[in-house]
Chain A
Amino acid sequence: AQKITQTQPGMFVQEKEAVTLDCTYDTSDPSYGLFWYKQPSSGEMIFLIYQGSYDQQNATEGRYSLNFQKARKSANLVISASQLGDSAMYFCAMREEMRGGGADGLTFGKGTHLIIQP
């Protein structure tokens, strides 16, 4: 089974609108972390936001927020007031604590290609 599922291969959004990128995950580990990364056409991976499984509040970083619904195993990324520069691939990723008891490799979804239209 897929550990990270991103159901939207591509999205077109008008500039200045809010965007929600979907991510569901599958783990039996009680302790885990969820990440979102942005990959522009230049190829680098840019860290956006992190949510720990025990965090009580939804994570926010500027225009990015993570809508964490633990019971539904959902970690959607919300981008407010989208900009043309937000056009990129967006990847959801997870780290499961029990795998290595520490800093372990991330499991990535297949990504969503977001295109912001003027």
Chain B
Amino acid sequence: NAGVMQNPRHLVRRRGQEARLRCSPMKGHSHVYWYRQLPEEGLKFMVYLQKENIIDESGMPKERFSAEFPKEGPSILRIQQVVRGDSAAYFCASSPPSPQRAYEQYFGPGTRLTVT
């Protein structure tokens, strides 16, 4: 799981600013997932992407949040006009493309977002 890279590890933003969180999946993985962990809570699924496609965004807030996974480069989770309630740890996970191994989700170290 050390192969999933997330940056930055810590991000501080003032209310109203934009936050961009990046995730590079493990080599050979084409599925990316984003999760949010509020303090003292478990992780909550936000969005599942494959290259250039959003497959399932049922956990994404309807406003201010967006995600992409372009053909080249990392996946980006973007939060516009951040509010204090967005303060959380955001985890990215990746899994291999083969259906037989699709259950394997490897997590990155997370990005801790603090909104002041």
A residues whose Cβ falls under 8 Å from a Cβ of B: 4, 33, 35, 37, 43-47, 50, 52, 91, 93, 95, 99-100, 102-111
- Contact, CB under 8 Å: B107 / A104: no
* Cβ contact of A108, chosen from B44, B47, B104, cutoff 8 A: B44
B55 to chain A, nearest CB (A): 7
- Contact, CB under 8 Å: B102 / A102: yes
- B 38-55 contacts with A by CB, 8 A: 41-48, 55
Per the bound structure, the CA–CA distance linking A73 and B79 in Å amounts to: 37
- A99-B56, A100-B56, A105-B33 in contact; A45/B102 too (CB < 8 A)? no
28 A–B pairs (Cβ distance < 8 Å), ordered by A = A4-B42, A35-B105, A37-B107, A43-B89, A44-B108, A44-B110, A45-B43, A45-B91, A45-B93, A45-B110, A46-B1, A46-B107, A50-B104, A91-B42, A100-B55, A100-B56, A102-B99, A103-B95, A103-B99, A103-B102, A103-B103, A105-B33, A105-B45, A105-B46, A105-B58, A106-B105, A108-B35, A110-B41
Residues of A within 8 A of B109 (CB): 43-44
B residues whose Cβ falls under 8 Å from a Cβ of A: 1, 31, 33, 35, 41-48, 55-56, 58-59, 89, 91, 93, 95, 99, 102-110, 112
